[in-house]
Amino acid sequence: MNTAQDPVVEADLDAYIDDQLPAARRIDVEAYLAGRPDAAARVMADLRTRDELRLALAAPAPGACPATVEAARRLERGLRRSRWLANLQRAASVAVLIGAGWLAAHLTPLTVTRVAASTPPPAYVEDAMRAHATTALRAGMASQTAAARYDPDDIRANTAIVMPALPAGWAVRDVQVYPSRYGPSVEVAAQAPQFGRVSLFAVRPGAFDVVAPALARSGEITSAYFQIGDVAYAVVAVGDEARLKAAAEALARSLY
């Protein structure tokens, strides 16, 4: 029986994923993961992403979009970064959101709170709720034309943001690319039977992570947010929180 002499830390998990540990230390890490299902699930997801990317990058498909290949290479490099970047991002205070001066005149200040947790939601959740409100504002303006075509391939080619398959019954009303504190973001406004008006927001927050769907609220608006790799997502609507979280989980599954 092997007994770990040193505690297993995040750096050991990163090295394990990157095949950088000696055999004895790998056994220590595997023993550590055997008793921690949540950590083991996260590591397995990272290993799967690593292997899929290595396979894809070893022999890119003929005619593959350069932007897509470059996005994949950035994600591969993200697997080698320490997770302290993601922790630093989550701990950072919420900055002032983007937007033109007229937007501040139409939108009330947002205070986003986590539904049930001790840590605040990531900063991109506020961006998602602001984008949701901005899209609602555009919908009421006769001068603003909606773009109802949802083309995940076109979005990925131009923004390096991978979009999920929308649930059955969601009717797309508008798709927009908005600026955000992290760069371009995508806002998909749809009509859903269980929510009415619902938005799917996606952005690259600048750090690689795997975050299971969680809930945050601002007034009557609730967001179910999650992250897979270097893209973060938020589903925003007024409605039953359990159904909203279930919708986020279904969207996350469609990305694997």
Q: What is the pLDDT of residues 221-254, one digit of tens each?
A: 889 999 999 999 999 998 788 999 999 999 999 9
pLDDT digits (tens, 9 = 90+) for 93-145: 333 333 333 344 344 445 555 554 457 888 899 988 888 888 888 777 877 77
pLDDT band, residue 9 (cuts 50/70/90): confident
Q: In the chain, where are the structural domains located?
A: 10-80, 96-253
Higher pLDDT, 82 or 192: 192
Q: Using CB atoms within 10 A of its CB, is residue 227 exposed (0-12), middle (13-18) or buried (19+)?
A: buried
Token pair belonging to 135: 């899209």
86 pLDDT tier (thresholds 50, 70, 90): very low
Q: Is-contact 68 156, C-beta < 8 A? A: yes
**Confidence band for 218, pLDDT divided at 50, 70 and 90:** confident
* pLDDT at position 66: 61
Give the model's pLDDT for residue 97: 32
Domain 96-253 architecture:
3-Layer(aba) Sandwich (3.40)
pLDDT of 201: 95
State how far Cα 203 lies from the chain centre: 7
Cα gap 224→235, rounded to integer Å? 5
Most confident segment among 23-37, 56-70, 107-121, 159-173: 159-173
Provide mean pLDDT across the span 22-40: 84
What pLDDT is attached to residue 42? 85
- Given a cut of 90, whether residue 163 has pLDDT beyond it is yes
Question: How many other C-beta atoms lie within 10 A of the C-beta of residue 27?
Answer: 14
What is the reported pLDDT for 62?
56
Q: How many CB atoms lie within 10 A of CB 93?
A: 6
Which positions ≥6 away from 193 have C-beta within 8 Å? 169
Give the per-residue pLDDT at 77. Answer: 56
State pLDDT tens for residues 164-215: 999 889 999 999 999 888 889 999 999 998 889 999 999 999 888 888 999 9
The pLDDT of residue 89 is: 43
Contact 221, 136 (CB under 8 A): no
